[in-house]
């Protein structure tokens, strides 16, 4: 099972927290940087969550996945300040980092590659950088490959992740669904659930 401490008391007793990173606002809805948001939306739909409501500097709801009580969070602080939302949720829910899964875009992976792992460096991802600064390291995350532009120029990279996918919407949807599959596997079994080559789920 995914490790982590259950909230000790209060109305919102939650075992685990899944935070999908992205930017708020209609202009960012289908951009590469918002794939974490999309995974959270799929999880909420699959498991009959009530509509995410404002809380923890984001949109939040709690429900049940694989027999565990799981909070779903979309930080609305904008990507560069994602840690503010995640830290507030962990603090209020009285959860340790071991109970946290962060879902985010990964430009160092080709489109469609997926990996569930225990943290590692932020690799220049400003959302992860913010979480590291305000929460610390040693949490689990799902990395969803969105590809990389032809240039390493920071402005070019920023424009790329804030642009919509070039891939067909069915391919994007499949990747988002696989990201949700990975999050469900983490809820059931933790990181070893995907201790298979990146991009695959165990049978």
| pLDDT: which is higher, 86 or 150 | 86
Would the pLDDT of 87 be above 50?
yes
**What does the pLDDT average to over 150-172?**
90
Assigned token pair, 113: 């590659």
How far apart, in whole angstroms, are the C-alpha atoms of residue 29 and residue 183? 21
């160092």: which residue's tokens? 108
Residue 91: predicted pLDDT: 94
Bridge partners of residue 102, in order along the sequence: 19, 141
**What does the pLDDT average to over 100-124?**
88
Q: Tell me the domains of the chain and their CATH numbers.
A: 16-194 (3.40.50.1470)
| pLDDT: which is higher, 155 or 197 | 155
Bridge partners of residue 44, in order along the sequence: none
Residue 3: predicted pLDDT: 40
119-152 pLDDT per residue, tens: 777 767 889 999 999 999 889 999 999 998 888 8
Among 143, 128, 173, CA closest to 30: 173
Q: Mapping DSSP to helix (H, G, I), strand (E, B) and coil, where does residue 15 land?
A: coil
Among 93, 156, 161, 95, CA closest to 127: 161
Element (H, E) at 72: strand 68-75
Query: Which residues are designated catalytic?
Result: 33
């Amino acid at each position: 099972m995914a490790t982590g401490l259950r909230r000790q008391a209060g109305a919102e007793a939650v075992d685990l927290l899944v935070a999908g990173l992205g930017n708020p606002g209609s202009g960012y809805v289908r951009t590469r940087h918002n794939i974490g948001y999309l995974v959270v939306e799929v999880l909420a739909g699959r498991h009959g969550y009530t509509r995410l409501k404002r809380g923890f500097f984001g949109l939040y709801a709690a429900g049940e996945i694989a027999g565990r009580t799981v909070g779903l969070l979309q930080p609305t602080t904008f990507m560069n300040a994602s840690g503010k939302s995640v830290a507030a949720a962990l603090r209020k829910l009285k959860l340790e980092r071991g109970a946290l899964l962060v879902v985010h875009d990964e430009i160092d992976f080709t489109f469609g590659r997926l990996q569930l792992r225990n943290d590692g460096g932020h690799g220049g991802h400003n959302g992860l950088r913010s979480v590291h600064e305000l929460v610390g390291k040693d949490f689990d995350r799902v990395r969803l490959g969105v590809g990389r532009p032809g240039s390493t120029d920071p402005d070019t990279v920023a424009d790329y992740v804030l642009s919509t996918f070039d891939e067909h919407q069915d391919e994007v949807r499949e990747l988002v669904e696989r990201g949700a599959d990975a999050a469900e596997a983490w809820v059931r079994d933790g990181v070893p659930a995907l201790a298979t080559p990146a991009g695959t789920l165990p049978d």
